[in-house]
Structure 1
């Protein structure tokens, strides 16, 4: 029984050191300005997957460029045009990874 307890302790330590999978969702709140949008040709349930070139600004830091791929509702696509500013959350460990919203 001690062996299994040791294995569980090691697993818990490893999990504590691994960044959580939801870190983007709980990441830094930021804003991004869309500088370009490209259709990838992929669709899911009539929604289109696009590549967005974004200029991201976090907490007054200098803006930086990111290319982000996301599936967007065909109804909402009109809101995702160059010049539009959108809310994003930036991954705490990788600022090139973000989620819209």
Structure 2
């Protein structure tokens, strides 16, 4: 499945539930922020070693994957509602970052 396929699936999901009126940039941004907060909470009090070993706890592994999915879906839906090509925007940002942060000399 591509991002375009997933975007269409989300459009269809929202349309089937008549959620489009609620999927405003403000609401989607707030929902995205809430999901990022839930992801943060999963790592909040862990040591760096514990956070790197997140897959060793099956419950944490499930919850991290679930929250990453929520963040991804809200971000994709927001980009769609705003008419932003997420891949193009991300590539443009990496291009700018490559100029701002040149590689270290080796």
In the superposition, the TM-score normalised over structure 1's length comes to 0.22
Hey, which of these two has a bigger chunk of strand by percent?
Answer: 1
Hey, which of these two has a bigger chunk of helix by percent?
Answer: 2
In the superposition, the TM-score normalised over structure 2's length comes to 0.21
